[in-house]
Chains A and B, each alone.
Chain A
Amino acid sequence: MAEREQKKKTQTQRESEELHEEVQAKNESAEKLKADLDDLLDEIDEVLEENAEEFVRNYVQKGGQ
Protein backbone atom coordinates (compact mmCIF):
# COMPACT_ATOMS: atom_id res chain seq x y z
CA MET A 1 0.00 0.00 0.00
CA ALA A 2 2.70 2.41 1.10
CA GLU A 3 4.68 1.46 -1.89
CA ARG A 4 1.69 2.20 -4.11
CA GLU A 5 1.18 5.56 -2.44
CA GLN A 6 4.82 6.31 -3.03
CA LYS A 7 4.51 5.33 -6.65
CA LYS A 8 1.42 7.45 -7.11
CA LYS A 9 3.07 10.43 -5.52
CA THR A 10 6.03 10.08 -7.78
CA GLN A 11 3.76 10.00 -10.75
CA THR A 12 1.84 13.07 -9.61
CA GLN A 13 5.11 14.78 -8.92
CA ARG A 14 6.38 13.87 -12.34
CA GLU A 15 3.22 15.16 -13.94
CA SER A 16 3.42 18.40 -12.07
CA GLU A 17 7.05 18.81 -13.05
CA GLU A 18 6.11 18.22 -16.66
CA LEU A 19 3.31 20.71 -16.38
CA HIS A 20 5.67 23.21 -14.81
CA GLU A 21 8.13 22.73 -17.64
CA GLU A 22 5.38 23.12 -20.16
CA VAL A 23 4.18 26.37 -18.61
CA GLN A 24 7.75 27.60 -18.44
CA ALA A 25 8.31 26.71 -22.09
CA LYS A 26 5.12 28.51 -23.01
CA ASN A 27 6.17 31.60 -21.07
CA GLU A 28 9.55 31.50 -22.68
CA SER A 29 8.05 31.19 -26.13
CA ALA A 30 5.61 34.03 -25.37
CA GLU A 31 8.56 36.15 -24.25
CA LYS A 32 10.47 35.21 -27.35
CA LEU A 33 7.47 36.12 -29.48
CA LYS A 34 7.25 39.51 -27.85
CA ALA A 35 10.97 40.09 -28.33
CA ASP A 36 10.70 39.03 -31.98
CA LEU A 37 7.78 41.39 -32.53
CA ASP A 38 9.70 44.20 -30.81
CA ASP A 39 12.65 43.67 -33.14
CA LEU A 40 10.32 43.61 -36.09
CA LEU A 41 8.62 46.85 -35.03
CA ASP A 42 12.03 48.49 -34.54
CA GLU A 43 12.87 47.51 -38.07
CA ILE A 44 9.59 48.88 -39.41
CA ASP A 45 10.35 52.18 -37.70
CA GLU A 46 13.65 52.21 -39.59
CA VAL A 47 12.36 51.40 -43.08
CA LEU A 48 8.82 52.79 -43.12
CA GLU A 49 8.44 55.61 -45.65
CA GLU A 50 9.30 58.76 -43.73
CA ASN A 51 6.30 60.82 -44.66
CA ALA A 52 3.62 58.18 -44.36
CA GLU A 53 0.77 60.55 -45.13
CA GLU A 54 2.32 61.79 -48.36
CA PHE A 55 3.35 58.28 -49.38
CA VAL A 56 -0.17 56.96 -48.93
CA ARG A 57 -1.70 59.99 -50.69
CA ASN A 58 0.67 59.73 -53.66
CA TYR A 59 0.12 56.04 -54.19
CA VAL A 60 -2.52 56.26 -56.90
CA GLN A 61 -3.00 53.54 -59.52
CA LYS A 62 -5.05 53.31 -62.66
CA GLY A 63 -7.62 50.55 -62.36
CA GLY A 64 -6.79 47.24 -63.98
CA GLN A 65 -8.45 43.87 -64.36
Chain B
Amino acid sequence: MAIAKVCGIETEYGISVLGSPDANPISVSSVLINAYVSEVAGRVGWDFETESPGNDARGFSFEAPGNAEMETHLVNTVLTNGARLYVDHAHPEYSSPECISPKQALLYDKAGEEVLRRAMKASKRFMPPGQEIVVYKNNSDRKGNSYGCHENYMMDRAVPFAKIVKQLTPFFVTRQIFCGAGKLGTEILGSQGEVSFQLSQRADFFEEEVGLETTLKRPIINTRDEPHADATRFRRLHVILGDANLSEFSTFLKLASTAVVLSMIEDGVLDDVELQICSPVQALRKVSCDPGLKVTVDTTDGRSMTALEIQWSYLEMAKKYFEREGIPTVGTSEEVAVLLGLWENTLSQLEEDPMLLRQRLDWVAKLNLIQGYKERHSLGWNDPKLAAIDLQYHDIRPEKSLALRAGLETLLDSKDVDMAVFEPPKETRAYFRGKCLEKFGESIAAANWDSLIFDTGKDPLRRVPMMDPLKGTFDHVDGLIQSSNSALELLEGLGA
Protein backbone atom coordinates (compact mmCIF):
# COMPACT_ATOMS: atom_id res chain seq x y z
CA MET B 1 0.00 0.00 0.00
CA ALA B 2 1.48 3.33 -1.08
CA ILE B 3 2.39 5.76 1.72
CA ALA B 4 2.64 9.56 1.77
CA LYS B 5 5.52 10.72 -0.38
CA VAL B 6 7.28 12.88 2.17
CA CYS B 7 10.15 14.33 0.17
CA GLY B 8 12.95 16.87 0.02
CA ILE B 9 16.02 17.98 -1.89
CA GLU B 10 19.62 18.31 -0.69
CA THR B 11 21.92 20.44 -2.83
CA GLU B 12 25.70 20.76 -2.78
CA TYR B 13 26.42 24.18 -4.22
CA GLY B 14 29.49 25.09 -6.26
CA ILE B 15 31.59 27.76 -4.56
CA SER B 16 34.38 30.08 -5.66
CA VAL B 17 36.02 33.27 -4.51
CA LEU B 18 36.34 36.21 -6.88
CA GLY B 19 39.82 37.64 -6.53
CA SER B 20 41.22 34.46 -4.99
CA PRO B 21 40.74 31.45 -7.27
CA ASP B 22 42.94 29.24 -5.07
CA ALA B 23 41.02 29.83 -1.83
CA ASN B 24 40.39 26.70 0.23
CA PRO B 25 36.77 25.72 -0.53
CA ILE B 26 36.25 24.10 2.89
CA SER B 27 37.26 27.26 4.78
CA VAL B 28 35.28 29.45 2.42
CA SER B 29 32.16 27.29 2.75
CA SER B 30 32.50 27.54 6.54
CA VAL B 31 32.81 31.32 6.40
CA LEU B 32 29.72 31.46 4.20
CA ILE B 33 27.59 29.37 6.54
CA ASN B 34 28.86 30.98 9.73
CA ALA B 35 28.13 34.38 8.26
CA TYR B 36 24.53 33.37 7.57
CA VAL B 37 24.10 31.84 11.00
CA SER B 38 25.34 34.95 12.79
CA GLU B 39 23.03 37.15 10.75
CA VAL B 40 19.95 34.96 10.97
CA ALA B 41 20.47 34.20 14.63
CA GLY B 42 20.26 37.95 15.19
CA ARG B 43 17.03 37.96 13.30
CA VAL B 44 15.29 35.35 15.46
CA GLY B 45 16.36 37.22 18.57
CA TRP B 46 18.98 35.09 20.21
CA ASP B 47 21.02 36.96 22.74
CA PHE B 48 24.65 36.36 21.97
CA GLU B 49 25.88 38.53 24.80
CA THR B 50 24.67 36.08 27.42
CA GLU B 51 25.43 32.90 25.53
CA SER B 52 28.58 30.93 25.23
CA PRO B 53 28.75 30.95 21.48
CA GLY B 54 30.98 27.95 21.07
CA ASN B 55 28.59 25.47 22.69
CA ASP B 56 26.95 24.25 19.52
CA ALA B 57 23.48 24.83 20.93
CA ARG B 58 21.70 24.80 17.60
CA GLY B 59 24.15 22.43 16.01
CA PHE B 60 26.56 25.10 14.80
CA SER B 61 29.72 26.77 16.03
CA PHE B 62 31.01 30.27 15.68
CA GLU B 63 32.86 32.97 17.56
CA ALA B 64 31.11 36.12 18.76
CA PRO B 65 29.35 37.95 15.92
CA GLY B 66 31.24 40.92 14.59
CA ASN B 67 34.50 39.15 15.12
CA ALA B 68 36.12 39.06 11.71
CA GLU B 69 38.34 36.17 12.77
CA MET B 70 35.65 33.55 12.31
CA GLU B 71 36.02 29.95 13.16
CA THR B 72 36.43 27.96 9.99
CA HIS B 73 36.11 24.38 11.10
CA LEU B 74 33.33 22.32 9.61
CA VAL B 75 29.96 23.74 10.48
CA ASN B 76 26.66 21.99 10.78
CA THR B 77 23.60 24.12 11.32
CA VAL B 78 19.93 23.44 11.71
CA LEU B 79 17.68 26.28 10.60
CA THR B 80 14.32 27.35 12.00
CA ASN B 81 12.64 26.25 8.76
CA GLY B 82 13.71 22.71 9.66
CA ALA B 83 16.48 22.54 7.04
CA ARG B 84 20.12 21.64 7.56
CA LEU B 85 22.89 23.91 6.31
CA TYR B 86 26.43 22.59 6.47
CA VAL B 87 29.75 21.95 4.80
CA ASP B 88 29.93 18.67 2.94
CA HIS B 89 32.78 17.51 0.70
CA ALA B 90 34.14 21.04 0.30
CA HIS B 91 30.76 22.45 -0.70
CA PRO B 92 28.08 24.37 1.17
CA GLU B 93 25.05 22.10 1.32
CA TYR B 94 21.41 22.91 2.04
CA SER B 95 19.13 19.98 2.88
CA SER B 96 15.50 21.00 2.81
CA PRO B 97 13.18 20.00 5.63
CA GLU B 98 10.85 17.04 5.16
CA CYS B 99 8.01 18.22 2.92
CA ILE B 100 4.51 16.82 2.52
CA SER B 101 4.25 17.28 -1.27
CA PRO B 102 6.29 17.97 -4.41
CA LYS B 103 5.01 21.55 -4.48
CA GLN B 104 6.15 22.12 -0.91
CA ALA B 105 9.53 20.52 -1.62
CA LEU B 106 9.91 22.93 -4.54
CA LEU B 107 9.15 25.82 -2.18
CA TYR B 108 11.81 24.72 0.31
CA ASP B 109 14.35 24.11 -2.45
CA LYS B 110 13.84 27.70 -3.63
CA ALA B 111 14.04 28.90 -0.02
CA GLY B 112 17.45 27.18 0.04
CA GLU B 113 18.62 29.33 -2.87
CA GLU B 114 17.48 32.37 -0.95
CA VAL B 115 19.38 31.20 2.15
CA LEU B 116 22.56 30.88 0.06
CA ARG B 117 21.99 34.33 -1.48
CA ARG B 118 21.63 35.86 1.98
CA ALA B 119 24.71 33.95 3.11
CA MET B 120 26.74 35.41 0.24
CA LYS B 121 25.63 38.88 1.20
CA ALA B 122 26.34 38.31 4.89
CA SER B 123 29.80 36.89 4.11
CA LYS B 124 30.98 40.11 2.49
CA ARG B 125 32.05 41.63 5.78
CA PHE B 126 34.23 38.64 6.59
CA MET B 127 36.14 38.68 3.31
CA PRO B 128 39.30 40.71 2.60
CA PRO B 129 38.82 43.72 0.30
CA GLY B 130 38.56 42.70 -3.34
CA GLN B 131 37.35 39.19 -2.55
CA GLU B 132 33.81 37.90 -2.79
CA ILE B 133 32.27 34.47 -2.30
CA VAL B 134 30.09 33.35 -5.19
CA VAL B 135 27.79 30.35 -5.12
CA TYR B 136 26.57 28.32 -8.10
CA LYS B 137 23.63 25.95 -8.17
CA ASN B 138 25.03 23.42 -10.63
CA ASN B 139 26.62 19.96 -10.62
CA SER B 140 29.94 20.17 -12.40
CA ASP B 141 32.96 22.41 -12.92
CA ARG B 142 33.21 21.27 -16.56
CA LYS B 143 36.56 19.62 -15.69
CA GLY B 144 35.34 16.26 -14.49
CA ASN B 145 34.43 17.19 -10.91
CA SER B 146 30.81 16.68 -9.96
CA TYR B 147 28.74 17.39 -6.85
CA GLY B 148 25.19 16.39 -6.24
CA CYS B 149 21.60 17.45 -5.92
CA HIS B 150 19.88 14.56 -4.19
CA GLU B 151 16.19 13.91 -3.76
CA ASN B 152 14.72 11.89 -0.92
CA TYR B 153 11.36 10.15 -0.91
CA MET B 154 9.72 8.24 1.93
CA MET B 155 8.72 4.72 0.95
CA ASP B 156 7.10 1.72 2.55
CA ARG B 157 9.80 -0.60 3.91
CA ALA B 158 7.72 -3.62 2.83
CA VAL B 159 8.39 -2.97 -0.87
CA PRO B 160 11.35 -5.11 -1.99
CA PHE B 161 14.28 -2.98 -3.12
CA ALA B 162 14.84 -5.14 -6.21
CA LYS B 163 11.34 -4.28 -7.38
CA ILE B 164 12.04 -0.57 -6.98
CA VAL B 165 15.22 -0.91 -9.04
CA LYS B 166 13.49 -2.82 -11.82
CA GLN B 167 10.45 -0.60 -12.16
CA LEU B 168 12.12 2.74 -11.55
CA THR B 169 15.22 2.50 -13.77
CA PRO B 170 13.55 3.12 -17.17
CA PHE B 171 11.81 6.16 -15.68
CA PHE B 172 15.07 7.49 -14.22
CA VAL B 173 17.01 7.02 -17.45
CA THR B 174 14.46 9.10 -19.36
CA ARG B 175 13.13 11.76 -16.95
CA GLN B 176 16.11 13.99 -17.86
CA ILE B 177 14.15 15.12 -20.93
CA PHE B 178 12.26 17.48 -18.61
CA CYS B 179 14.50 17.80 -15.57
CA GLY B 180 17.99 17.97 -17.05
CA ALA B 181 19.76 21.26 -16.33
CA GLY B 182 21.69 21.18 -19.61
CA LYS B 183 25.41 21.11 -20.27
CA LEU B 184 27.64 22.29 -23.07
CA GLY B 185 29.82 19.40 -24.30
CA THR B 186 30.91 16.39 -22.29
CA GLU B 187 33.39 15.67 -19.53
CA ILE B 188 34.07 12.11 -20.60
CA LEU B 189 37.73 11.97 -21.58
CA GLY B 190 38.21 11.12 -25.21
CA SER B 191 34.65 12.09 -26.16
CA GLN B 192 35.13 15.85 -26.13
CA GLY B 193 34.33 17.30 -29.51
CA GLU B 194 31.78 14.58 -30.24
CA VAL B 195 29.02 16.10 -28.14
CA SER B 196 27.87 19.70 -28.50
CA PHE B 197 25.13 19.83 -25.89
CA GLN B 198 23.63 17.49 -23.31
CA LEU B 199 20.31 17.43 -21.49
CA SER B 200 21.91 16.48 -18.18
CA GLN B 201 24.72 17.87 -16.03
CA ARG B 202 25.24 14.53 -14.34
CA ALA B 203 24.92 11.78 -16.99
CA ASP B 204 28.70 11.87 -17.66
CA PHE B 205 29.36 10.75 -14.09
CA PHE B 206 27.23 7.61 -13.83
CA GLU B 207 28.92 4.25 -14.25
CA GLU B 208 26.75 1.69 -12.44
CA GLU B 209 23.11 0.65 -12.40
CA VAL B 210 22.80 0.07 -8.66
CA GLY B 211 25.17 0.66 -5.76
CA LEU B 212 26.10 2.35 -2.53
CA GLU B 213 28.68 4.81 -3.87
CA THR B 214 27.91 8.49 -4.23
CA THR B 215 31.30 10.04 -5.03
CA LEU B 216 32.77 7.61 -7.56
CA LYS B 217 31.31 4.95 -9.81
CA ARG B 218 27.98 6.62 -9.19
CA PRO B 219 24.94 4.38 -9.63
CA ILE B 220 21.61 5.30 -11.27
CA ILE B 221 19.90 3.88 -8.19
CA ASN B 222 21.62 4.45 -4.89
CA THR B 223 21.25 1.83 -2.18
CA ARG B 224 22.09 4.00 0.84
CA ASP B 225 19.83 2.66 3.57
CA GLU B 226 19.61 5.34 6.17
CA PRO B 227 15.93 6.01 6.77
CA HIS B 228 16.33 8.69 9.48
CA ALA B 229 13.04 7.22 10.74
CA ASP B 230 11.57 3.97 12.03
CA ALA B 231 13.51 1.45 9.93
CA THR B 232 10.89 -1.25 10.39
CA ARG B 233 8.26 0.86 8.61
CA PHE B 234 10.04 3.33 6.37
CA ARG B 235 12.63 3.51 3.66
CA ARG B 236 14.21 6.75 2.45
CA LEU B 237 14.90 6.43 -1.23
CA HIS B 238 18.05 8.50 -1.75
CA VAL B 239 18.19 9.63 -5.38
CA ILE B 240 21.57 10.88 -6.57
CA LEU B 241 20.86 10.99 -10.29
CA GLY B 242 19.22 14.39 -10.61
CA ASP B 243 20.56 17.78 -11.67
CA ALA B 244 20.29 20.94 -9.58
CA ASN B 245 17.51 22.88 -11.28
CA LEU B 246 16.93 26.60 -11.39
CA SER B 247 13.61 26.30 -13.22
CA GLU B 248 10.65 25.83 -10.90
CA PHE B 249 8.89 23.75 -13.56
CA SER B 250 11.85 21.39 -13.90
CA THR B 251 12.13 20.93 -10.13
CA PHE B 252 8.39 20.44 -9.70
CA LEU B 253 8.07 17.96 -12.57
CA LYS B 254 11.09 16.02 -11.31
CA LEU B 255 9.66 15.66 -7.80
CA ALA B 256 6.04 15.18 -8.82
CA SER B 257 6.53 12.58 -11.53
CA THR B 258 8.99 10.62 -9.37
CA ALA B 259 6.62 10.65 -6.38
CA VAL B 260 3.79 9.37 -8.60
CA VAL B 261 5.93 6.58 -10.07
CA LEU B 262 7.08 5.52 -6.59
CA SER B 263 3.46 5.35 -5.42
CA MET B 264 2.63 3.17 -8.42
CA ILE B 265 5.53 0.86 -7.54
CA GLU B 266 4.30 0.58 -3.95
CA ASP B 267 0.78 -0.23 -5.09
CA GLY B 268 1.96 -2.91 -7.51
CA VAL B 269 0.63 -1.02 -10.54
CA LEU B 270 3.79 -1.73 -12.56
CA ASP B 271 4.17 -5.38 -11.58
CA ASP B 272 2.92 -6.77 -14.88
CA VAL B 273 4.56 -4.17 -17.10
CA GLU B 274 7.38 -5.46 -19.27
CA LEU B 275 9.59 -2.43 -19.76
CA GLN B 276 13.31 -2.87 -19.18
CA ILE B 277 16.13 -0.98 -20.84
CA CYS B 278 19.02 -3.18 -22.03
CA SER B 279 22.02 -1.11 -20.89
CA PRO B 280 20.71 1.62 -18.60
CA VAL B 281 24.04 3.43 -18.09
CA GLN B 282 24.75 3.69 -21.82
CA ALA B 283 21.10 4.60 -22.42
CA LEU B 284 21.32 7.39 -19.84
CA ARG B 285 24.24 8.96 -21.71
CA LYS B 286 22.72 8.36 -25.11
CA VAL B 287 19.51 10.14 -24.13
CA SER B 288 21.48 12.97 -22.51
CA CYS B 289 23.51 13.59 -25.67
CA ASP B 290 20.47 13.96 -27.92
CA PRO B 291 18.67 17.30 -27.50
CA GLY B 292 16.61 16.41 -30.58
CA LEU B 293 14.98 13.63 -28.50
CA LYS B 294 15.00 11.22 -31.45
CA VAL B 295 17.49 8.62 -30.25
CA THR B 296 16.11 5.21 -29.31
CA VAL B 297 17.19 2.76 -26.63
CA ASP B 298 16.74 -0.99 -26.75
CA THR B 299 14.41 -2.77 -24.37
CA THR B 300 14.88 -6.33 -23.17
CA ASP B 301 11.75 -7.48 -25.05
CA GLY B 302 13.24 -6.36 -28.35
CA ARG B 303 11.74 -2.91 -28.82
CA SER B 304 13.51 0.33 -29.65
CA MET B 305 11.95 3.24 -27.79
CA THR B 306 12.64 6.95 -27.52
CA ALA B 307 12.88 8.58 -24.09
CA LEU B 308 9.59 10.32 -24.88
CA GLU B 309 7.85 7.01 -25.61
CA ILE B 310 9.06 5.59 -22.31
CA GLN B 311 7.84 8.67 -20.45
CA TRP B 312 4.47 8.48 -22.24
CA SER B 313 4.06 4.90 -21.09
CA TYR B 314 4.68 5.85 -17.44
CA LEU B 315 2.30 8.80 -17.77
CA GLU B 316 -0.49 6.72 -19.31
CA MET B 317 -0.22 4.23 -16.45
CA ALA B 318 -0.21 7.11 -13.95
CA LYS B 319 -3.38 8.57 -15.47
CA LYS B 320 -5.21 5.26 -15.20
CA TYR B 321 -3.94 4.79 -11.66
CA PHE B 322 -5.20 8.30 -10.82
CA GLU B 323 -8.66 7.59 -12.25
CA ARG B 324 -8.85 4.39 -10.26
CA GLU B 325 -7.32 5.39 -6.93
CA GLY B 326 -6.64 9.13 -6.86
CA ILE B 327 -2.95 9.07 -5.75
CA PRO B 328 -3.58 10.72 -2.33
CA THR B 329 0.04 9.93 -1.41
CA VAL B 330 1.16 12.86 -3.57
CA GLY B 331 -1.58 15.42 -2.94
CA THR B 332 -5.26 16.25 -3.15
CA SER B 333 -7.00 15.09 -6.30
CA GLU B 334 -6.95 18.69 -7.64
CA GLU B 335 -3.20 18.91 -7.07
CA VAL B 336 -2.53 15.54 -8.67
CA ALA B 337 -4.74 16.43 -11.66
CA VAL B 338 -2.67 19.59 -12.15
CA LEU B 339 0.64 17.79 -11.96
CA LEU B 340 -0.42 15.02 -14.32
CA GLY B 341 -1.71 17.67 -16.73
CA LEU B 342 1.61 19.48 -16.56
CA TRP B 343 3.54 16.26 -17.15
CA GLU B 344 1.36 15.50 -20.19
CA ASN B 345 1.58 19.01 -21.56
CA THR B 346 5.35 18.95 -21.20
CA LEU B 347 5.70 15.66 -23.07
CA SER B 348 3.39 16.92 -25.85
CA GLN B 349 5.43 20.09 -26.29
CA LEU B 350 8.72 18.21 -26.18
CA GLU B 351 7.34 16.03 -28.95
CA GLU B 352 6.21 18.98 -31.06
CA ASP B 353 9.29 21.16 -30.57
CA PRO B 354 11.39 21.28 -27.37
CA MET B 355 12.08 24.99 -27.95
CA LEU B 356 8.43 25.67 -27.02
CA LEU B 357 9.60 24.98 -23.45
CA ARG B 358 12.48 27.48 -23.38
CA GLN B 359 10.74 29.37 -20.58
CA ARG B 360 9.93 26.26 -18.59
CA LEU B 361 12.75 23.72 -18.68
CA ASP B 362 16.36 24.40 -17.72
CA TRP B 363 18.08 22.50 -20.50
CA VAL B 364 15.92 24.13 -23.16
CA ALA B 365 16.39 27.62 -21.69
CA LYS B 366 20.15 27.11 -21.57
CA LEU B 367 20.33 25.68 -25.08
CA ASN B 368 18.31 28.64 -26.36
CA LEU B 369 20.79 31.10 -24.83
CA ILE B 370 23.86 29.21 -26.03
CA GLN B 371 22.53 28.70 -29.55
CA GLY B 372 21.39 32.30 -29.87
CA TYR B 373 24.70 33.65 -28.61
CA LYS B 374 26.68 31.27 -30.79
CA GLU B 375 24.83 32.39 -33.92
CA ARG B 376 24.95 36.08 -33.11
CA HIS B 377 28.72 36.07 -32.63
CA SER B 378 29.51 33.24 -35.09
CA LEU B 379 31.25 31.16 -32.43
CA GLY B 380 32.30 27.50 -32.47
CA TRP B 381 30.81 25.06 -29.94
CA ASN B 382 34.11 25.06 -28.02
CA ASP B 383 34.30 28.83 -27.56
CA PRO B 384 34.96 29.71 -23.89
CA LYS B 385 32.19 32.32 -24.03
CA LEU B 386 29.65 29.53 -24.46
CA ALA B 387 31.20 27.60 -21.58
CA ALA B 388 30.94 30.79 -19.53
CA ILE B 389 27.22 31.00 -20.34
CA ASP B 390 26.85 27.38 -19.24
CA LEU B 391 28.41 28.17 -15.84
CA GLN B 392 26.88 31.58 -15.35
CA TYR B 393 23.40 30.21 -15.97
CA HIS B 394 23.76 28.75 -12.45
CA ASP B 395 25.21 31.83 -10.69
CA ILE B 396 22.55 32.61 -8.09
CA ARG B 397 23.43 36.29 -7.66
CA PRO B 398 20.52 38.26 -9.15
CA GLU B 399 22.90 40.70 -10.86
CA LYS B 400 24.71 37.87 -12.64
CA SER B 401 22.31 34.94 -12.98
CA LEU B 402 21.54 34.03 -16.58
CA ALA B 403 18.75 31.68 -15.52
CA LEU B 404 17.04 34.71 -14.04
CA ARG B 405 17.32 36.49 -17.38
CA ALA B 406 16.01 33.56 -19.42
CA GLY B 407 12.41 34.56 -18.65
CA LEU B 408 11.58 31.31 -16.84
CA GLU B 409 7.95 31.01 -15.80
CA THR B 410 7.37 30.47 -12.11
CA LEU B 411 5.00 28.41 -9.96
CA LEU B 412 5.71 30.02 -6.59
CA ASP B 413 4.91 33.34 -4.96
CA SER B 414 8.14 35.05 -3.85
CA LYS B 415 6.45 36.00 -0.55
CA ASP B 416 5.99 32.31 0.22
CA VAL B 417 9.66 31.69 -0.56
CA ASP B 418 10.71 34.47 1.83
CA MET B 419 8.54 32.97 4.53
CA ALA B 420 9.91 29.46 3.93
CA VAL B 421 13.40 30.78 4.68
CA PHE B 422 12.34 30.89 8.35
CA GLU B 423 9.08 28.98 8.77
CA PRO B 424 9.02 25.15 8.74
CA PRO B 425 6.44 23.06 6.84
CA LYS B 426 3.37 22.53 9.02
CA GLU B 427 2.62 18.96 7.92
CA THR B 428 5.77 17.05 8.93
CA ARG B 429 8.06 16.63 11.94
CA ALA B 430 10.14 19.52 10.52
CA TYR B 431 7.58 21.71 12.28
CA PHE B 432 8.59 20.42 15.71
CA ARG B 433 12.30 20.71 14.90
CA GLY B 434 12.06 24.22 13.50
CA LYS B 435 9.76 25.65 16.14
CA CYS B 436 11.74 24.14 19.03
CA LEU B 437 14.92 25.67 17.62
CA GLU B 438 13.19 29.01 17.30
CA LYS B 439 11.70 29.06 20.78
CA PHE B 440 13.99 26.86 22.89
CA GLY B 441 17.24 27.04 20.92
CA GLU B 442 19.32 27.67 24.03
CA SER B 443 18.09 24.39 25.53
CA ILE B 444 18.81 22.22 22.51
CA ALA B 445 22.12 20.41 22.72
CA ALA B 446 21.85 18.72 19.35
CA ALA B 447 19.37 18.35 16.52
CA ASN B 448 19.11 15.59 14.00
CA TRP B 449 16.60 14.43 11.40
CA ASP B 450 15.02 11.94 13.77
CA SER B 451 15.61 13.45 17.21
CA LEU B 452 16.14 16.57 19.30
CA ILE B 453 18.35 16.46 22.38
CA PHE B 454 17.48 18.91 25.14
CA ASP B 455 19.77 20.24 27.86
CA THR B 456 17.57 21.79 30.50
CA GLY B 457 20.45 22.49 32.85
CA LYS B 458 19.71 20.21 35.78
CA ASP B 459 18.81 16.78 34.47
CA PRO B 460 20.77 14.52 32.16
CA LEU B 461 20.34 15.36 28.46
CA ARG B 462 16.88 14.33 27.28
CA ARG B 463 16.32 12.95 23.85
CA VAL B 464 13.01 13.38 22.04
CA PRO B 465 12.80 10.81 19.24
CA MET B 466 10.96 11.75 16.04
CA MET B 467 10.85 8.41 14.27
CA ASP B 468 7.73 9.12 12.23
CA PRO B 469 8.13 11.97 9.70
CA LEU B 470 4.36 12.56 9.86
CA LYS B 471 4.31 13.22 13.61
CA GLY B 472 5.36 16.45 15.29
CA THR B 473 3.26 18.49 12.89
CA PHE B 474 1.57 21.84 13.54
CA ASP B 475 -1.65 20.01 14.47
CA HIS B 476 0.17 17.73 16.91
CA VAL B 477 2.47 20.10 18.75
CA ASP B 478 1.76 23.75 18.08
CA GLY B 479 -0.57 24.19 21.03
CA LEU B 480 1.96 22.65 23.39
CA ILE B 481 4.90 24.69 22.03
CA GLN B 482 2.85 27.88 22.31
CA SER B 483 1.78 27.20 25.87
CA SER B 484 5.18 26.05 27.16
CA ASN B 485 7.29 28.75 28.73
CA SER B 486 10.43 26.64 28.92
CA ALA B 487 11.96 23.56 27.38
CA LEU B 488 11.27 21.77 30.66
CA GLU B 489 7.56 22.54 30.41
CA LEU B 490 7.60 21.36 26.82
CA LEU B 491 9.24 18.07 27.79
CA GLU B 492 6.76 17.54 30.60
CA GLY B 493 3.91 18.21 28.19
CA LEU B 494 5.33 15.68 25.75
CA GLY B 495 5.74 13.15 28.52
CA ALA B 496 9.34 12.76 27.38
Contact = CB atoms under 8 A, between A and B. Distances in A.
Interface stretch (B270-278, B301-309, B366-374): B366-374
Interface in A30-61: 36-37, 40-41, 43-44, 47-49, 52-53, 55-56, 58-61
A10 to B, nearest CB: 33
Contacts of A62: 25, 89-91, 145, 147
Contacts of A64: 12, 88-91, 145-148, 215
Given A65-B214, A65-B240, A60 B147 contact: no
B406 interface: yes
Nearest to A61: B141
Interface stretch (B112-120, B387-395, B450-458): B387-395
A13 B142 CA distance: 58
A49 B136 CA distance: 14
B391 A44 contact: no
A15 B256 CA distance: 42
B369 A63 contact: no
B393 to A, nearest CB: 10
Contacts of B21: 58, 60
B368 A37 contact: yes
Contact of B372 (A40, A47, A48, A59): A40
Interface residues of B, number: 41
Contacts of A58: 16, 21
Contacts of B214: 65
Interface stretch (B193-201, B397-405, B427-435): B397-405
B14 A61 contact: yes
Interface in B467-491: none
Interface residues of A, number: 21
B392 A48 contact: yes
B109 to A, nearest CB: 17
B407 A40 contact: yes
B153 to A, nearest CB: 17
A58 B387 CA distance: 12
B402 A65 contact: no
B225 to A, nearest CB: 16
B91 A61 contact: yes
Nearest to B205: A63
Contacts of B240: 65
B368 A65 contact: no
Given A41-B372, A64-B89, A56 B215 contact: no
A34 B368 CA distance: 11
B384 interface: yes
B305 to A, nearest CB: 31
Contact of B215 (A44, A48, A65): A65
Nearest to B359: A36
A37 B140 CA distance: 27
A37 B369 CA distance: 8
A56 B142 contact: yes
B397 to A, nearest CB: 10
Given A40-B369, A59-B142, A64-B12, A47 B402 contact: yes
Nearest to B148: A65
A63 B368 CA distance: 28
Interface string B90-105: 1100000000000000
A52 B372 contact: no
Nearest to A42: B376
- Name which of B14, B385, B389 has the most chain A CB atoms within 10 A of its CB: B385
B373 A41 contact: yes
B143 interface: yes
B402 A44 contact: yes
A60 B14 CA distance: 9
18 contacts: A37-B368, A40-B372, A41-B369, A41-B373, A44-B405, A48-B385, A48-B388, A59-B142, A61-B14, A61-B91, A61-B140, A62-B25, A63-B146, A64-B90, A64-B146, A64-B148, A65-B147, A65-B215
Given A61-B147, A64-B147, 14 more contacts: A40-B369, A40-B406, A41-B373, A44-B373, A47-B400, A48-B392, A55-B392, A59-B16, A59-B391, A60-B145, A61-B140, A62-B25, A63-B89, A63-B145
Interface of B: 12, 14-16, 21, 25, 88-91, 136, 140-143, 145-148, 150, 214-215, 240, 368-369, 372-373, 376, 384-385, 387-389, 391-392, 399-400, 402, 405-407
Interface of A: 36-37, 40-41, 43-44, 47-49, 52-53, 55-56, 58-65
- Which 8 A/B pairs are nearest by Cβ-Cβ distance? A64-B147, A62-B90, A52-B388, A64-B89, A61-B141, A58-B21, A65-B148, A65-B214
